[in-house]
DNA sequence: CTTCATGCAAATAATTTGCAGTAAG
DNA sequence: CTTACTGCAAATTATTTGCATGAAG
């Protein structure tokens, strides 16, 4: 329920925000221009500036997150529990994968070796998805 | 020896390329405008367009790599063996850390669970470096 | 010599800002 | 009512391109 989330963060509930969040949810990982193009159909007056402003305020409020890694354009996703991104080099698809103990081990190992106080891990695995492997 | 690397990749050895590579090496992880600003001092005629063009050709040739993760602007580094980035949220410093078996385990686990054919892992640990922890 | 790289200016794309009008609480 | 949000246009910043000249192999 996006209304509830926005209210908790003291952001006003506007049709624009709801539309943006719905779009992000629908695609999982989506770029700014995809949001814009998709929303324009149902909501032709929606302005790009509004999308930019809302993405930054909602990012600040930890409702949405940036997704970026080498060689890919920036996308957005709804904030969720920490997870790994699986990225297909062929079709560009991005999947989420739940984190298990091996990530905690890795964080602990890094913290120990480096003396960094590690808050979070940003992990992407880049490869070929099962569907694209099938296509020869 | 950057000359050797460029030659291997059939890229001409120019003072501009050498300057860019030297700058990246010096800083480890550096943004485009930092490269530009730093080089301008010794080489005032160096143009931004040249930096852009060279970064893409050298990225294509796998001499340099993009470094990006959430909430940080894009940087470049020299291509090296796979490694983890340790990022300090306070001072912005980025350190490299060698990869050990736990990363291989993680990759194997992800591959198995997802059926992706995983080629590489992009991993960043975000936290506070020892120096910034010391500052209260 | 031949090919590729440079630097400049112009073109394009991406993001941010200011502000008047409007909608949400 | 008050505050925050929207949409527009303009401003700023980032990136790309075309082309004439110059340097590298």
The per-residue pLDDT for range A18-29, each reduced to its tens digit, is: 999 999 999 999
Residue tagged 């485009």 (tokens):
B32
Q: pLDDT-based confidence at A56, cuts 50/70/90?
A: very high
Q: Is the pLDDT of residue A61 over 90?
A: yes
pLDDT of the residue at A118: 97
Average pLDDT over residues B63-74: 94
Q: Is the pLDDT of residue B129 over 90?
A: yes
Instruction: Say if A111 is an interface residue toward chain B (CB within 8 Å).
Output: yes
Average pLDDT value over all residues in chain B: 95
Query: Which positions in chain B touch A129 (Cβ < 8 Å)?
Result: 114-116
Instruction: Say if B113 is an interface residue toward chain A (CB within 8 Å).
Output: yes
- Render pLDDT for B85-104 as a digit per residue (tens, 0 to 9): 999 999 999 999 998 888 99
**% of chain B exceeding 70 in pLDDT:** 100
- Do residue A102 and residue B88 have CB atoms under 8 angstroms apart? no
- C-alpha span between A111 and B57 (Å, rounded): 36
A43 touches strand D (CB under 7 A): yes
pLDDT of the residue at A96: 97
CB count in 10 Å sphere of residue B65: 19
- Do residue A86 and residue B130 have CB atoms under 8 angstroms apart? no
pLDDT of the residue at B100: 83
Q: pLDDT-based confidence at A35, cuts 50/70/90?
A: very high
- Do residue A117 and residue B123 have CB atoms under 8 angstroms apart? no
The b-or-e profile of A48-68 (16+ CB within 10 A means b, else e) is eebbeebbeebbeeebbbbbb
Average pLDDT over residues B12-40: 97
pLDDT of the residue at B101: 86
Spatial contact of A90 and A71, defined as CB atoms under 8 Å apart: no
Q: Is the pLDDT of residue A136 over 80?
A: no
Average pLDDT value over all residues in chain A: 95
Spatial contact of A13 and A7, defined as CB atoms under 8 Å apart: yes
- Render pLDDT for B96-128 as a digit per residue (tens, 0 to 9): 999 888 899 899 999 999 999 999 999 999 999
pLDDT of the residue at B136: 73
CB count in 10 Å sphere of residue B115: 15
A71 — alpha (psi -120 to 50), left (phi > 0) or beta? left
Q: pLDDT-based confidence at A8, cuts 50/70/90?
A: very high
Q: pLDDT-based confidence at A58, cuts 50/70/90?
A: very high
């Amino acid at each position: 329920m996006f209304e509830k989330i926005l209210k908790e963060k003291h952001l006003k509930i506007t049709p624009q925000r709801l539309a943006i969040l719905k779009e992000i949810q629908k695609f999982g990982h989506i770029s700014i221009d995809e949001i814009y193009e998709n929303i324009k159909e149902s909501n032709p007056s929606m302005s790009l500036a509004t999308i930019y402003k809302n993405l930054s305020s909602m990012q600040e409020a930890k409702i949405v997150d940036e997704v970026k890694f080498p060689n890919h354009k920036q996308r957005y996703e709804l904030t969720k529990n920490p997870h790994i991104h699986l990225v297909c080099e062929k079709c560009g698809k991005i999947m989420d994968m739940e984190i298990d103990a091996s990530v905690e081990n890795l964080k602990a190992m890094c913290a120990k070796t480096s003396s960094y106080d590690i808050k979070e891990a940003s992990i992407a695995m880049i490869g070929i998805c099962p569907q694209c492997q099938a296509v020869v």
